[in-house]
């Protein structure tokens, strides 16, 4: 249990599939803030201020996150809306998933080739 002067030692997990959505820095900042809060009850104005962006930018970012299925918005009349993360199995499929998966595969192959060649160089150096 933490005391009021101690900060909780929580970490957020960023799923690698989040890269498939090509979030801009504002969208990612909003996503991270909501993840950190669990449920975000902040007003749009407060949320924008906390995340260092304009209210309009926060509106666009939240709308994008909703359209990807990454967050859920609970509308409460007369109160602030509630934002929370959507479970991974409920995310919508990104439009360019084939291109992004091909790019991911290419990067993995390149890294594997570089690792294999550097390993071979070290083996050759040891043998000489």
Q: Is the pLDDT of residue 127 over 60?
A: no
**Contact partners, residue 84, CB within 8 Å, separation at least 6:** 34, 38, 39, 40, 71, 72, 74
The pTM is what?
0.67
By C-alpha distance, which of 43, 48, 52, 72 is closest to 60? 48
Q: What is the mean pLDDT of residues 113-119?
A: 71
Whether the per-residue pLDDT at 61 is higher than 60: the answer is yes
Pairwise CA distance, residues 4 & 101, whole Å:
45
Give percent of the chain with pLDDT exceeding 90. 43
Res. 5 pLDDT band, cuts 50 70 90: low
| More confident call, 79 vs 18 | 79
Q: What is the mean pLDDT of residues 91-115?
A: 76
- Longest Cα pair distance anywhere in the chain, in angstroms? 77
- How far is it, in rounded angstroms, from Cα 109 to Cα 50? 40
Q: How many CB atoms lie within 10 A of CB 94?
A: 17
116 has a pLDDT exceeding 80? no
Query: Domain extents for the chain?
Result: 13-91, 96-128
Asked whether 25 and 51 are in contact (CB, 8 A), the reply is no
CATH number of the domain located at residue range(s) 13-91 in this protein = 1.10.10.10
Nearest to 85 by CA among 110, 64, 66: 66
71, 86 contact by CB (below 8 A):
yes
């Amino acid at each position: 249990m933490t005391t009021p002067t101690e900060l909780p030692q929580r970490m957020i997990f960023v799923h690698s599939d989040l890269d498939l959505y090509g979030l801009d820095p504002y969208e990612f900042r909003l996503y991270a803030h909501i993840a950190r809060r669990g449920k975000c009850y902040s007003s749009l104005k407060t949320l924008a201020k906390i995340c260092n962006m304009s209210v309009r930018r926060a509106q666009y970012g939240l709308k994008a996150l909703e359209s990807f299925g990454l967050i859920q918005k609970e509308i409460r009349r007369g109160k602030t809306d509630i934002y929370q993360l959507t479970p991974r199995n409920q995310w919508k499929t990104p439009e360019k998933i084939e291109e992004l998966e091909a790019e991911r595969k290419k990067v993995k192959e390149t890294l594997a080739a570089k690792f294999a060649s550097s390993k071979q160089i070290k083996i050759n150096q040891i043998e000489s």
